[in-house]
Amino acid sequence: MSIIAFFVIASFTLPEKIGTEPKSLLWLLPLAAAITVVYKATKLPKITAGNFIKESALLLGSMVVFIIAIALGLYVLAWLIIE
């Protein structure tokens, strides 16, 4: 990595303000996308733009749907315990 890139990165010295509200969890969506893209880049036997985007979107979608399903399940469980 070049010296300029290093100095740019090293200038990130102030953290962002992230609250503890539920919408802060949306910060994890780009992370899920990154995991999906790298995983598919290592797993697909041949990479073409259309196929790669389709496969990545499918995996990301299934991950998000599964996370939402688990969240709903836990929410219902918590509601049943409290009520």
Judged by CB under 8 A, the chain residues 16 through 55 that form the site for other proteins are 16-20, 24, 27-28, 30-31, 34-35, 37-39, 41-42, 47, 52
Q: What whole-number distance in Å separates Cα of residue 67 and Cα of residue 53?
A: 21
**Close Cβ partners of 51 (under 8 Å, ≥ 6 residues apart):** 44
Nearer to other proteins, 41 or 76 (CB): 41
Nearer to other proteins, 57 or 76 (CB): 57
Helix then strand count (H, E) for the chain reads 3, 0
Site residues for other proteins per CB under 8 A: 1, 6, 9-10, 12-20, 24, 27-28, 30-31, 34-35, 37-39, 41-42, 47, 52
